[in-house]
Amino acid sequence: MFRWFLDVWEVEELRRRFLYTLGVLVVYLIGTHIPIPGINTAALEEFFRQFNQSIFMLYNIFSGGALTKMTVFALGILPYITASILMQLLVASVPYLKQLQTEEGDYGRYKIQEYTKYLTLLIATVQALFLTVWLQNQTTETGTPLVYDAGVGFTVTAVVILVAGAMFVTWLGERISKHGIGNGASIIIFAGIVVGFPAMVAQIWETFKTGELSVLDLLLVLLAVAAIVVGIVIIQEAERRIPVQYPQRNLGFGAPTASYLPIKLNPVSVMPIIFAQAILVMPATVVQMLNLESLAFLQDWFRYDSLFYNVLYVLLIIAFTYIYASVVVNPHDIAENLRKAGAFIPGIRPGKETEEYLARVINRLLFVGAIFLAVIAVIPVLISLKTHIPFYFGGTTALITVGVALDTLHRIEGHVTMRKYHRFLSRA
C-alpha cells in the first residue's frame, strides 16, 4: 500500500513536486495561526464555542481552523471555489464565455481563469467586510468585546488583510496545481481537514468515555467511516470500457489492434461535494450570524439535519457533477482525438455520431455516479441523527479526504506511468 510513496522518492520529478507541495502547505498552515491585529483571541475562542454544533463549523474546518481564530487566512480557499462555481455557471449560460472555453484553446482558458480571479477578489471583499463588521458588534456572554478597538481603522485594516490572505491562498493553490501534486484547491482543503482530524477523533472518544456514546453507536460510526471509504473507492475506480480499434495498426496478419476507451463513473472526484458545501455553508452561516427573529425559519431550514438542507444538498451534488464534468470530460474533444488517431468505436461512425454516442454514455454514467455520490454524502447525516453526535462534520470531511487522497494517488500513478513509457521509448 506504500508503493506510491516509494514511487514518489524514486522518481526525481515526483519527489520535487511532492516536496514543493509540502512546502506550500507549511506556508498555508503557518498563515492559519497568525491572527489579524486588534482581535481579542481569548474572547474570540469563548464566543465561538456556541457554534460548535452548527454548520458554521464546517466553514471553519474547510479553512483549517483559521476562521474561528480570525487569522490572515480566515476566508481560506472558499472565495475561489465559490467564484469557480459561479464562473462555470456563467460559461454555460453566456455565449461569449462558452466560446472562450471551447474554441479559444489555451488563451480562452487563461481568460476564464483571469475572470475567475476577479470574481474571487469581489467575493472575498464582500465576505471580509461582512465578517469584520459582524465581529465588531459581537461580545461574549460576559460582555467582553471581540475587537479591542472597533471602528473604521480596524474595518479597513481587517478587510485588506483578509482579502489579501484569500488571494494569497488562491495563489498557493495555483502553485500546487502547476508545480506540485494534485488539484491545488482540493489539496488545501485536504490539509485543513487533516489538521483538524485529531480534535474530531478526540471529541468522539470523549463522548464515548463519558457514556454519551454507546458501544453500539461507536461501532456504527466506525462502520459508517468504512462504508464512506469503500463507497468513494468504488466511485473513483469504476469505469465503462468502450472498445476502440486502430485499423492503421495491425499485428502483422491484417487484423486491427483492439483497445478500449475508459470512461469513469465519476470523473470529477469529490469536487461536487466541495462545491455543494461551499454553496450551502454561506446562507447557513449568514443566517446564524445575523440571528434575526424574522430569519429564524431559515435557520431551521439550513440545519444540517433538516430535510430541506439534505434534499438541496443531494440536488446540488447531482447538478455540480454534471456541471463540473462538462469541463473535465468533453465528448467532442474525445471524438476528435479518436478521429485524429485513426481510431473508431466498432459499429459507430467517426465524427458526429461518435460524439453523440459518447455523450449518451457519459450522461448515463454521470447520473449513476452522481446518485451514488449523493447517497454516500448523506450517510454522515443519518449517523448523526442516530448517535446524536456531530459525526456529520467528521463524515463529510472523511468523504472529501478520501476522495482527494485517491485523486492525488491517481495523479502520482499517472506520472509514474508516463515516466516508464518515456523510458521505454528512449530505449527503443
pLDDT in tens, 97-155: 888 877 777 788 888 889 999 999 999 999 999 889 888 888 888 888 888 888 899 99
- Residue 243's contacts (CB-CB under 8 Å, 6 or more residues apart) are 258, 259, 260, 261, 345, 346
pLDDT band (50, 70, 90) for residue 56? low
pLDDT band (50, 70, 90) for residue 6? low
The least confident of 28-32, 88-92, 129-133, 175-179 is 88-92
In 210-255, which residue ranges form alpha helices assigned H by DSSP?
A: 215-237
Q: Is the pLDDT of residue 420 over 80?
A: no
**Residue 260, pLDDT score:** 82
- Residue 126's contacts (CB-CB under 8 Å, 6 or more residues apart) are none
Looking at the DSSP bridge assignments, the partners of residue 263 are: 240
* Residue 103 vs residue 39, higher pLDDT: 39
- The whole-angstrom distance between residue 39's C-alpha and the CA centroid of its chain comes to 30
Angle at 247 between CA 241 and CA 253, to 5 degrees: 110
The CATH number of the domain holding residue 204 is: 1.10.3370.10
CB of 299 closer than 8 Å to CB of 287: yes
State which amino acid sits at residue 129.
Answer: L
* Residue 27 vs residue 416, higher pLDDT: 27
Angle at 408 between CA 403 and CA 411, to 5 degrees: 130
* H or E stretch at 249: strand 239-250
Over residues 212-222, the mean pLDDT reads 79
Q: Is the pLDDT of residue 253 over 70?
A: no
Over residues 317-330, the mean pLDDT reads 85
Q: In the chain, count H helices and then E strands.
A: 16, 2
* Residues 347-356: b if buried by 16+ CB within 10 A, e if exposed: ebeeeeebbe
Domain count, the chain: 1
- Residue 379, domain extent: 3-427
Q: Which CA distances in Å does 310 have to 95, 192, 227, 276, 387?
A: 33, 24, 19, 11, 18
Q: Is the pLDDT of residue 251 over 70?
A: no
Over residues 169-195, the mean pLDDT reads 90
Q: Which three cell numbers stand for residue 62?
A: 474547510
pLDDT band (50, 70, 90) for residue 11? confident
Full-model pTM: 0.77
- Residue 1's contacts (CB-CB under 8 Å, 6 or more residues apart) are none
Tell me what the pLDDT averaged over the chain comes to. Answer: 81
**Residue 283, pLDDT score:** 74
pLDDT band (50, 70, 90) for residue 1? very low
pLDDT tens digit string along 368-405? Answer: 989 988 888 888 777 777 766 655 555 667 777 887 88
